[in-house]
Every structure is written in structure tokens, then in C-alpha cells.
Amino acid sequence: MKPLVLGSSSPFRKQLLAKLGLDFSCNSPQIDESPLTGEHAEQLVARLAEAKARAVAVKHPDALIIASDQVAVLNGRILGKPGNHQNAHAQLSAAAGNTVTFYTSLALLNASNNHLQLEVVPFKVHFRPLTADEIESYLHKEQPYQCAGSFKSEGLGIALFNKLEGDDPNTLIGLPLIRLIRMLKNEGISIP
């Protein structure tokens, strides 16, 4: 089997990939993740996943490279990682009672023959109405300041939702495993 490399520094993606029981290494791609003028969310995450995979392939020319990117969209506006408490509070206040769509891209690049598989997987999160006190309490408990949308669905963030809508719950955390399994099979790797 070709070496498998996860092109990410995300501990969440690393944990997700480990669920498949495959040997892999991690390499953090160093790319500019700024959106281009007029670029829509789906275009942005697709471009970034491919760029991450290609950046890592330079260091691992015989590997299968897995890369991903994710953005949250509320009312047509991309929500980035909040970075601090104030921004996270504003994001959750805006999301309360609304639906946020997450677009998660997945790229699998066979670096030896340049074969790229690339998909963007949507996942909808329906937030319940939230009070300012509930938002404050949640933020103090989880401090999700480096998470798109200001929550961790794999933790207490699940308490913020009315409903989740998508094919694969792993997509929301950052790595669509069902799609990845299909892509790996295309490269001759069957799981289990």
C-alpha cells in the first residue's frame, strides 16, 4: 500500500482518520487560505483542499494525500473561525434559531500519478433558539474559538442544535469518512 498522508494539522481530522484503522502520517500544508474575490464557499473549500494536497505532495511524491477544508455559511455569509470570545458570541447569536450550512471539501491525491479525487460535501446544522446566557455558558465551557461556526459538535456543541442534516456526521467535524472510504477504494484500498 502507498504511504497515506493527512495534509492537516487538525487534531479533529487526525482523530477521524484514525477511526479507519489505517497507518498514516500527518504533514501540515503551508498555504494561503484567503478567499479570492467573488469566490463562493464551495469554490473556496474545493480550491483549498486541492492546494493543501498538492503542497503536501511535494514532500511526499509517492503517497496518497488526504486534504480537507471547511467553511460555515449563514445567510450567504461565510463564518470563519471566531478567534476570540466576542466573535464567537456574535456568531452563535446570529446562528441561534437559524440554519448554518457547512461545506467540507475532501481531496485524495495520488501524488505518483497526479490523479485527484475532489468532492464538496454539504451538512446543515439547525440551531435552536439560544439565550445570551446559554451562549455565554457554552463558550465558557468549550471555548471553541478555533472552530468554524463557534462550536464543537463532537462535544457540548450538540446541545445548541434542533437537528443535523447530512449523509455523514464526520463531515461536520471536518472529514467526510464515507466519501473518503469510496475514494480510497478507487485507489485499491478497501476498508475494513
pLDDT digits (tens, 9 = 90+) for 177-188: 999 999 999 999
Residues 63, 109: Cα–Cα separation, whole Å? 8
What pTM does this model have? 0.92
- Active-site pick, 23, 69, 133, 168: 69
User: Which single residue is written with the C-alpha cell 480510497?
Assistant: 184
Per-residue pLDDT at 148: 84
Question: What's the mean pLDDT when you consider all of the chain?
Answer: 95
Could you check whether the bond before residue 122 is cis, i.e. omega within 30 degrees of 0?
Answer: no
Residues 92/151, Cβ–Cβ less than 8 Å: yes
Residues 10-37 have a mean pLDDT of 94
**Domain 4-186 in CATH 3.30.479.30:** no
Q: Over range 110-122, report the average pLDDT.
A: 98
pLDDT for residue 59 is more than 90: yes
Mean pLDDT for 118-144 is: 97
69 is catalytic: yes
Helices (H), the chain: 11-18, 41-59, 85-95, 132-142, 169-173, 177-186
Residue 1 pLDDT > 90: no
Q: Which three cell numbers stand for residue 4?
A: 497515506
Domain ranges of the chain: 4-186
Residue 80 has pLDDT above 90, yes or no: no
Task: Examine the pLDDT at 118 and tell me if it is beyond 90.
Answer: yes
